[in-house]
Amino acid sequence: MSRWFRQPHKPAWLMGVLNCTPDSFSDGNIDNLEAHILRAKEMIAQGADMIDVGGESTRPNAMPVSLEEELSRVLPVVKALTALSIPVSIDTMKAEVMLQATQAGATLVNDVSALTHDEKSLQVVAKTGADVCLMHMKGNPQTMQDNPIYDDVLTEVMCFFEQRIEACLSAGIAKSAIVLDPGIGFGKRLEDNLRLIVNVATIKDAFHMPVLLGASRKSFLGLITGSKVRQRETETAVASAIGIFCGADMIRVHDCSTHHQTTLVASQLLDAKQHVNEVCHAV
């Protein structure tokens, strides 16, 4: 059984975003190791369970960076954080970055391409024994928001997961190592994002795997309320709380202080709901 399932009477996992990039849509431009360490320690103090370190922006229209540049951005940070016993995931699409980051102590590979971008990724994850988060994305960061269209977004995302899970299992990756991310904001329209959030349980129940939800500060929230990127914490809290109430095991956020509280409240509400259901079934 995956360790990433939220346990009853425990809050959902909280993953804090640490973008080691100059061009991320929300919180890039931290450009020195000491600042990254300070920010990571702050997020842990605010309740984060893990720090997600990324060195290549995946915002809409973001341009790729070289392997050497990405390694230079993330590897010193991963080494420094793991030396402090801070749990780290590595947000990358490159197999060599996955390899070196996990060798440096990262325990989860978070790949927005679900191990499709680099043909060596499946083998690297299987060899290292790292856990892996498979995310659905329509297209790539350069094209994903160019008029994405679905006949049925939930069906398409679940079919994609079915294919990627099979590829992982065939490569020797353990079922218990896999986390699923429906890819909120990655090649999705407003209505697609909303449908995926309220159907987290459908995805989770279909595959019996934990689900990560990353709605933090995404543009669909701004479409609803008109808020600018850094003013979307209330919207993020609502979307994340509903996602947890619908079964999400982990949320990925920028503001860990606010959303630690989100995980506490939403998780207890879900426990209360499940308790009521158990009592009703027992009667």
Indicate the residue type of 230. R
Domains located in the chain, CATH noted: 13-282 (3.20.20.20)
- Would you call 252 a catalytic residue per the annotation? yes
Model pTM score: 0.93
Report the SS3 class of residue 139.
coil
Q: Which of 39, 73, 164, 218 is catalytic?
A: 218
Q: What are the φ/ψ torsions at residue 15 (nearest 5 degrees)?
A: -105, 120
How does DSSP assign 204-224, residue by residue?
HHHHT--BEE--TT-HHHHHH
Q: Report the alpha-carbon distance of residue 201 to residue 247 in Å, rounded.
A: 5
pLDDT band at 59 (very low <50, low <70, confident <90, very high): confident
Average of per-residue pLDDT across 274-282? 70
Query: Residue 268: enclosing H or E segment and its boundaries?
Result: helix 256-282
Active-site annotation holds for 3: no
Residue 255 · residue 218 · CB < 8 Å: no
pLDDT tens readout for residues 222-240: 999 999 999 999 999 999 9
Compute the distance between CA of residue 152 and CA of residue 196 in angstroms, rounded to an integer: 11
| pLDDT band, residue 277 (cuts 50/70/90) | confident
**Distance between CA atoms of 234 and 217, rounded to whole angstroms?**
9
Residue 220's pLDDT band, with cuts at 50, 70 and 90, is very high
Does 282 score more than 70 pLDDT?
Answer: no
Residues 6+ apart with CB under 8 A from 47: 14, 256, 257, 260, 263
